[in-house]
């Protein structure tokens, strides 16, 4: 797809290469938001180092009139602000693209490539002339390139001005400087270059009814709306902003303006072992509680997760996945915890896992997770990832059903315990669905029992008796069957033509898969698509698999973990599944999917 | 925790407390520990303390980790909910329980292995959070349940049953709790009911984190000669520094207390702890001096006991957080969920 030959209006990618700690983040998100407000679908991805200041960081903005929100794999406009990565950045620009750099210091030699137009703007010089303060000079360079891009990409200046005013509403003194910097860049570009470029933005009406939000914020909001009152955590990238969001929303919605009293309690735990313990202590007492973490934290939580499975305590755990193994690459994305989450802990242990694919689903599945955890009295893990959790995604507005009532599951309350004809027995399967009734501490002595991870019988008593032990562990499997019926259905997209081919995928692969399907269908390859939203896999997943000769399983890890799980937990033949894997830490784009399927299909036809 | 139900025989002559309950109502199932185990005496003292305080048993949440000591919550307060956590992690369960329901009496039972080895981190953090609970360490210097290995509280020079000598420094939970801001720190001995019961009552009523480290000999693995956690050694080198008596709110202070070295500490519910100094040069309000005193005696092989430090003024976890006074688990959904309009207006931020 050469930049020259194609009409690039509302269909291109800008990449901004910066140094972290120089304040580029707010300029870059302002740029993205301006495009969004012009009604053009857009997405922003941040590639940042595990470091606070001084290392390279990139921000990629894809503008797509067709609403494709995965990475494009191309870079049409590069803003190269980091001298250290000039060469790398120049090399990455697609043929026919444009590179913008700070020409305060001439770099002609390093910065030339025949197929790329290089535009120099003396950003530092302009800012040094107009601003006295050293910090302002650094910060305003960012706003100056936003101004230049406004001219080059034909952005609506009014929209940008409004955004500046909103962004700095709390620090009004900064508005003037920022507007000035934008004007400097805008005028320089207008005077010196032919504006706009072929890659440019034209207002559309394709973003109304949508918001730009990151998944962690949406998930934190989901926790507030679900009625969660206790949160526990130990800081870890990329999950930290989830608890930050929860706390910020609680300060807004759950704090008594007069007394300052809080209707929530967040505990920063000493580690993840404690974080999950705090969650279990709280749910034992009838509160809704959750903990956000990432891979290393999930590993630490394993012992307690097995405990919660066996003692049957609700818990909601967000695993915002990052690159493993071990510490891995903390600021890169992956889907490497699928198996670890599904079977976390020793012994015959299995967990309900939900897989959001975007921020909107982070919100919706948070609510589902709390309901399922209470209904099934078991941990529910939500597997998000860094791409969803920390990047701003365009998604549909979040909706609220005012009729929603939390499903608190089966509980013997004070009335049932006191006046009740039936004696309370903690693990007795009264309803035949594998889910027993629980009781909360402090309510009534008749509901008292011991929560324990050691062998217990259906009455809640300690046991080492073979038959009694097995009865409970078999009932847990019956409960698993109930879980299959209760978890969210998969997302399914069918082609208009009948096809024996299908893609099965998960989570943040969704946008790349959707785009790949469109691209393949224009080449005459038609595929059905199923995206799992939950483990255990329900009937809809197994039925879908059965209807296809060949299934491509697309996921972002090396070991084909989703495929392994499908092999283990469905009767679909392993031979009929082919993995398409992407696991270098950058979010997947459609190209690797298109290439793999094209090849497989052509080989299949030849055979 | 083998479960043997104790037949509930209530003699008509049994004393009843203010709730009309007898001591039987505060008992649990039959202990399965070794005959003579110090832990059983502590269980008996706990039963007595709750009975005398006339706390409704179901308003207590009993929590423990793993170990012989951690089994004991099954042996008292059978109508209280219990939580046997994984090894060393009871403090986090207690933290969550308190977060969800601040109105319960939280009682944690742990061992020296459970709290000072695998659970040292969680123990410390419960202290510094000033979690409102009573935390009991049944300290026998060994891992009873895994058959007698040294624990982190074993003293230098103490010998194991098979003759091996411990050469590593002991971790003293009392000194740790004082250093980390504990607000009620005590030590006692399973063999001294008279000291222990009032301490338990004071600890239950204390607002904030209360620690009682109780020397509790393991008759099976650590009660021999050359052990510093045996009954004989503890009786010989036992050094009560402060005696604490608990006086319920309405009760008058007996005249005999008003003389000499007696100090009264008022608790939030109006009850008082009367501190009677046994040792003249001891101060219960001075962390530094208290630690020095304990260490000086430790060097002589002596075990300083009593209520060793108390501070009623520090805010607990909820005070620091400014949590609502109503337990969070009782708040209706409508007050927790911001609703449709808030969600609509909030999203203007994301456009
Ligand atoms: C993770 C884990 N590691 C090891 C054990 C084995 N274990 C059970 S009890 C115990 C030591 C208990 O010692 P202590 O807390 O002093 O209790 P005591 O039996 O002496 O009362 C150990 C190591 C376990 N249950 N869990
Ligand atoms: S082994 Fe020791 S600690 Fe355990 S029950 Fe027996 S005497 Fe008590
Ligand atoms: Mg021990």
Residue A56: Cβ within 10 Å count: 18
Query: Which of A253, A278, A283 comes nearest B338 by C-beta?
Result: A253
Q: How far is the C-alpha of A360 from the C-alpha of B343, rounded, in Å?
A: 13
Q: Does B328 touch chain A (CB under 8 A)?
A: yes
**In sequence order, which residues have a C-beta less than 8 Å from that of residue A385 and are 6 or more positions away?**
A238, A320, A321, A322, A333, A334, A335, A507, A508, A556
Crossing angle of the two packed helices A590-606 and A510-521, in degrees rounded to 10: 50
Question: B37 CB less than 6 Å from ligand 2?
Answer: yes
- What's the mean pLDDT in A477-500? 96
Under DSSP, the state recorded for B251 is: P
pLDDT at A5 (0 to 100): 46
Supply the pLDDT for residue B3.
54
Least confident of A416-425, B62-71, B110-119: A416-425
User: What is the pLDDT at residue B278?
Assistant: 80
Contact assignment for A274 to B121 by CB distance below 8 Å: yes
In angstroms, the CA B244 to CA B196 distance is: 9
Q: Render pLDDT for A92-124 as a digit per residue (tens, 0 to 9).
A: 999 999 999 999 988 767 778 999 999 999 999
Closest residue by Cα to atom 9, ligand 1, is B67
pLDDT grade for B254, boundaries at 50, 70 and 90 = low
* pLDDT at residue A22 is higher than 90: no
**B161–A contact, CB cutoff 8 A:** no
What is the DSSP secondary structure assignment for residue B136, as one 8-state letter?
A: E
pLDDT band at B7 (very low <50, low <70, confident <90, very high): low
Mean pLDDT value of segment A306-321: 98
Are the folds of A213-396 and A491-606 the same?
Answer: yes
Neighbours of B339 (CB within 10 A): 13
The pLDDT confidence band at residue B262, using thresholds 50, 70 and 90, is confident
What band does A53 get if pLDDT is binned at 50, 70 and 90?
confident
The predicted structure's pLDDT at residue B259: 46
Distance in angstroms (rounded) separating the CA atoms of residues B336 and A76: 47
Q: What is the pLDDT of residue A106?
A: 81
Q: Give the mean pLDDT of B7-30.
A: 88
Sheet arrangement for strand A352-354 = A265-268, A230-233, A289-293, A315-321, A379-385, A352-354, A534-535
Q: Looking at chain A, how many residues does it have?
A: 607
Task: Look at residue A4 in the predicted model and tell me its pLDDT.
Answer: 47
Taking CA B218 as the corner, what is the angle to CA B215 and CA B223, rounded to the nearest 5 degrees? 95
Q: Looking only at Cα atoms, what is the longest distance across chain A?
A: 88
**Type and span of the H or E element at B71:** helix B68-71
Closest CA of chain B from A397, distance in Å: 8
Is pLDDT above 60 for B2?
A: no
The residue behind tokens 């279990």 is A280
Q: What angle do CA A92, A518, A584 make, to 5 degrees?
A: 40
Q: What is the DSSP string of A321-388?
A: E-B-STT-BTTS---TTHHHHHT-SSSS---EEE---SHHHHHHHHHHHHHHHHHHTSEEEEEEEHHH
Buried b (16+ CB within 10 A) or exposed e, B185-208: bbbbbbbbeebbbbbbbbbbbbbb
3-class DSSP state of A472: helix
- Give CATH superfamily name and number for A11-192: Pyruvate-ferredoxin oxidoreductase, PFOR, domain III (3.40.920.10)
In the DSSP assignment, the letter for residue A2 is: -
Tokens of B100: 């969800």
> Taking the domains of chain B in order of start, what are their residue ranges?
23-348
A103 CB-contact burial (10 Å; exposed 0-12 / middle 13-18 / buried 19+): middle
Interface test with A, best of B83, B127, B319, B323 (most A CBs within 10 A): B83
Return phi, psi of residue A349, to 5°. -130, 140
At B311 the pLDDT is 93
- For residues A349, A352, A357, A363, the Cα torsion angle rounded to the nearest 10 degrees is -130
Is the per-residue pLDDT at A298 higher than 80? yes
Q: Which of A66-75, A130-139, A400-409, B276-285 has the lowest mean pLDDT?
A: B276-285
pLDDT at A37 over 50: yes
CA of B113 to the centre of ligand 3 (A): 5
Instruction: For residue A325, say if its preceding peptide bond is cis, omega within 30 degrees of 0.
Output: yes
Query: Which residue is listed with tokens 């909910």?
Result: B81
- Fold of the domain built from segment(s) A491-606: Rossmann fold (3.40.50)
- Write out pLDDT tens, residues A315-329: 999 999 999 999 999
Q: What's the average model confidence in pLDDT over A461-468?
A: 97
d(CA A577, CA A548): 10
Q: B253 falls in which pLDDT band (50, 70, 90)?
A: low
Q: How far is B50 from chain A (nearest CA, A)?
A: 15
* Cα–Cα distances in angstroms (integers) from residue A547 to residues A542, A543, A603, B132, in the given order: 9, 7, 21, 59
Confidence of residue B277 (pLDDT cuts 50, 70, 90): confident
Is there a contact between A270 and A234 (Cβ–Cβ < 8 Å)? yes
Distance CA A277, CA A306 (A): 12
Report d(CA A548, CA A542) in Å as an integer.
Answer: 11
Q: B67: Cβ–Cβ under 8 A, 6 or more apart, which residues? A: B87, B110, B111, B113, B114, B143, B144, B145
Per-residue model confidence as pLDDT tens digits over B32-60: 999 999 999 999 999 999 999 999 999 99
How confident is the model at residue B1, as a pLDDT? 44
Q: A492 - beta bridge partners?
A: A530
Distances (CA, A) of A160 to A89, A190, A492, B349: 26, 16, 39, 15
Is residue A487 within 8 A of residue A502, CB to CB? The reply is no
> According to the model, what pLDDT value does residue B264 have?
87
- How far is ligand 2, taken at its centre, from the CA of residue B151, in Å? 14
Q: Which CATH architecture has domain B23-348?
A: 3-Layer(aba) Sandwich (3.40)
pLDDT over 70 at B322, yes or no: yes
Structure tokens at A6: 């194609």
Q: Is B83 on the interface with A (CB under 8 A)?
A: yes
**Are A59 and A44 contacting, i.e. CB atoms less than 8 angstroms apart?**
yes
Chain B, 43-62: which have a CB under 8 Å from a chain A CB?
57-59, 61
DSSP state, residue B212:
E
Q: Between A5 and A141, where is the model more confident?
A: A141
Residue with token string 């185990």:
B37
CA B218 to ligand 1: nearest atom: 20
Nearest CA to ligand 2 atom 5: B33
Give, in degrees to the nearest 5, the angle at Cα A297 between A294 and A302.
Answer: 120
Interface of B with A in 96-155 (CB under 8 A): 96-101, 103-104, 121-122, 124-125, 129
Structure-block tokens of residue A41: 């679908």
* Cβ atoms B53, B19 nearer than 8 A: no
Residues of chain B above pLDDT 90, percent: 85
In chain A, where the domains are located: 11-192, 213-396, 414-486, 491-606
Q: Which residues contact B191 (CB under 8 A, 6 or more apart)?
A: B38, B41, B217, B231, B234, B235
Question: B16 vs A558, B48, B197, CA distance in Å?
Answer: 68, 12, 18
Percentage of chain A lying above the pLDDT 70 cut? 98
- Alpha-carbon distance of A266 to A244, in angstroms, equals 10
Residue identified by tokens 């299959």 is A484
* Cα–Cα distance measured from residue A476 to residue A408, given in angstroms and rounded to the nearest whole number: 19
Q: Is the Cβ pair B347, A211 closer than 8 Å?
A: yes
Q: Count the neighbouring beta carbons within 10 Å of the beta carbon of residue A557.
A: 23
The answer on pLDDT for A420 being more than 80 is: no
pLDDT digits (tens, 9 = 90+) for B119-176: 999 999 999 999 999 999 999 999 999 999 999 999 999 999 999 999 999 999 999 9
- What are the C-alpha distances in Å from B9 to residues A275, B14, B23, B75, B76? 43, 10, 11, 16, 15
Alpha-carbon gap, residue B250 to B25, rounded angstroms:
24
Report the mean per-residue pLDDT for chain A: 95
State in Å: Cα B87 to ligand 1 middle: 6
Question: In three state form, how does the secondary structure of A497-562 look?
Answer: CCCCEEEEEEHHHHHHHHHHHHHHHCCCCCCEEEEECEECCCHHHHHHHHCCCEEEEEECCCCCHH
Asked if pLDDT for residue A478 goes beyond 90, the answer is yes
Neighbours of A247 (CB within 10 A): 18
Shortest CB distance from A212 goes to which of B2, B100, B350?
Answer: B350
pLDDT at B286 over 70: yes
Residues 6+ apart with CB under 8 A from B126: B91, B94, B95, B108, B133, B135, B209
Q: Are strands A491-493 and A528-532 parallel, antiparallel or unpaired?
A: antiparallel
pTM equals: 0.96
Separation of CA B1 and ligand 1 centre (Å): 13
Q: Which residues are CB-contacts of A575 (< 8 A; sequence separation ≥ 6)?
A: none
pLDDT at residue A193 in the model: 97
Could you please state the CATH topology (level 3) that the domain comprising A213-396 is classified under.
Answer: Rossmann fold (3.40.50)
Q: What phi and psi values does residue B156 have, to the nearest 5 degrees?
A: -65, 130
Q: What are phi and psi of B337, to 5 degrees?
A: -95, 125
């Amino acid at each position: 797809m050469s930049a020259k030959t194609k009409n690039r209006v509302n269909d291109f990618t800008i990449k901004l290469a910066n140094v972290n700690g120089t304040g580029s983040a707010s300029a870059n998100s302002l740029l993205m938001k301006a495009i969004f407000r012009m009604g053009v679908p857009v997405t922003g991805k941040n590639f940042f180092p595990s470091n606070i200041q001084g290392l390279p960081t990139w921000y990629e903005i894809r503008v797509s009139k067709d609403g494709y929100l995965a990475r494009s794999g191309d870079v049409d406009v590069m803003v190269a602000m980091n001298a250290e990565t000039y060469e790398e950045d120049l090399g990455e620009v697609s043929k026919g693209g444009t590179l913008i750099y700070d020409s305060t210091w001439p770099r002609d030699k390093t910065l030339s490539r025949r197929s790329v137009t290089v535009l120099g703007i003396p950003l530092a010089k302009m800012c040094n002339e107009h601003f006295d303060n050293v910090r302002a000079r650094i910060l305003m360079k960012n706003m100056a390139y936003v101004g230049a891009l406004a001219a080059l990409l034909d952005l609506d200046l009014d929209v940008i001005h409004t955004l500046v005013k909103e962004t700095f509403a709390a620090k009004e003194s900064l508005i003037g400087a920022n507007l000035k910097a934008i004007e400097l860049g805008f005028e320089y570009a207008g005077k010196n270059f032919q504006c706009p470029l072929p890659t440019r933005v034209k207002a559309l009406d394709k973003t109304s009814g949508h918001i730009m939000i990151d998944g962690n914020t949406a998930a934190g909001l989901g926790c507030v709306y679900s009625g969660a009152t206790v949160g526990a955590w130990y800081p870890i990238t990329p999950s930290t902003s989830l608890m930050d969001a929860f706390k910020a929303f609680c300060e807004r919605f759950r704090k008594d303006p007069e007394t300052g009293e809080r209707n929530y309690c967040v505990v920063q735990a000493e580690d993840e072992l404690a974080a999950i313990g705090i969650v279990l202590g709280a749910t034992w007492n009838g509160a809704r509680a959750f903990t956000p973490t990432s891979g290393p934290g999930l590993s630490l939580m394993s012992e307690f997760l097995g405990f919660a499975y066996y003692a049957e305590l609700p818990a909601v755990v967000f695993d915002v996945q990052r690159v493993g193994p071990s510490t891995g690459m903390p600021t890169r994305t992956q889907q490497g915890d699928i198996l670890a989450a599904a079977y976390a802990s020793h012994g015959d242990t299995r967990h309900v896992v939900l897989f959001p694919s975007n921020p909107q689903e982070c919100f919706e599945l948070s609510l589902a997770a709390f309901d399922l955890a209470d209904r099934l009295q078991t941990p529910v893990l939500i597997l998000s990832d860094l791409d969803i959790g920390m990047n701003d995604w365009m998604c549909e507005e979040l909706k609220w059903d005012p009729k929603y009532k939390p499903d608190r599951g089966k509980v013997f309350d004070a009335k049932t315990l006191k006046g009740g004809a039936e004696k309370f027995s903690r693990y007795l399967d009264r309803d035949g669905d594998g889910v027993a009734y629980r009781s909360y501490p402090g309510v009534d002595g008749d509901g008292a029992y011991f929560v324990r991870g050691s062998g217990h019988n259906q009455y809640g008593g300690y046991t080492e008796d073979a038959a009694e032990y097995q009865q409970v562990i078999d009932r847990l499997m019956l409960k698993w069957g109930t879980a299959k019926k209760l978890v969210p259905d998969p997302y399914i997209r069918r082609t208009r033509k009948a096809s024996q081919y299908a893609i099965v995928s998960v989570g943040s692969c969704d946008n790349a898969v959707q785009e790949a399907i469109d691209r393949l269908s224009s080449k005459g390859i038609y595929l059905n698509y199923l995206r799992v939203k939950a483990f255990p896999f329900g009937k809809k997943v197994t039925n879908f698999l059965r209807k296809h000769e060949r299934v491509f399983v697309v996921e972002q890890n090396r070991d084909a973990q989703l495929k392994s799980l499908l092999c283990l937990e469905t009767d679909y033949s392993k031979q009929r599944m082919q993995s398409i894997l992407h696991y270098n830490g950058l979010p997947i784009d459609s190209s690797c999917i298109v290439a793999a399927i094209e090849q497989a299909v052509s080989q299949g036809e030849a055979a | 925790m083998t479960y043997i139900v104790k037949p509930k025989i209530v003699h008509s002559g049994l004393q009843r407390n203010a709730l009309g309950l007898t001591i039987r109502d505060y008992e649990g199932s039959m202990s399965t520990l070794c005959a003579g185990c110090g832990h059983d005496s502590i269980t008996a003292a706990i039963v007595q303390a709750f009975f005398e305080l006339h706390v409704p048993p179901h308003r207590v949440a009993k929590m423990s980790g793993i170990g012989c000591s951690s089994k004991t919550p099954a042996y008292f307060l059978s109508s209280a909910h219990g939580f046997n956590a994984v090894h060393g992690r009871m403090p986090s369960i207690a933290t969550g329980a308190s977060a969800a329901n601040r109105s319960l009496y939280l009682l944690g039972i742990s061992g020296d292995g459970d709290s000072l080895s695998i659970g040292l981190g969680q123990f410390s953090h419960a202290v510094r959070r000033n979690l409102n609970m009573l935390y009991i360490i049944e300290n026998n210097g060994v891992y009873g349940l895994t058959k007698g290995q040294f624990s982190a509280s074993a003293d230098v020079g103490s010998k194991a049953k098979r003759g091996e000598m411990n050469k590593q420094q002991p971790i003293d939970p009392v000194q740790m709790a004082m250093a980390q801001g504990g607000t009620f720190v005590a030590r006692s001995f399973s063999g001294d009911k008279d000291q222990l019961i009032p301490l338990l009552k004071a600890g239950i009523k204390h607002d904030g984190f209360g620690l009682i480290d109780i020397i509790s000999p393991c008759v099976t693995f650590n009660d021999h000669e050359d052990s510093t956690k045996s009954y004989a050694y503890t009786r010989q080198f036992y050094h009560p520094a402060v005696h604490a008596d608990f006086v319920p709110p309405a009760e008058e202070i007996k005249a005999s207390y008003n003389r000499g070295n007696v100090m009264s500490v008022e608790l939030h519910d109006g009850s008082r702890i009367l501190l009677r100094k046994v040792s003249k040069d001891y101060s219960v309000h001075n962390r530094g001096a208290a630690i020095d005193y304990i260490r000086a005696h430790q060097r002589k092989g002596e075990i300083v006991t009593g209520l060793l430090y108390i501070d009623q003024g520090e805010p607990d976890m909820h005070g620091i957080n400014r949590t609502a006074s109503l337990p969070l688990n009782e708040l209706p959904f409508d007050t927790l969920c911001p609703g449709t309009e808030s969600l609509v207006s909030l999203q203007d931020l994301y456009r």
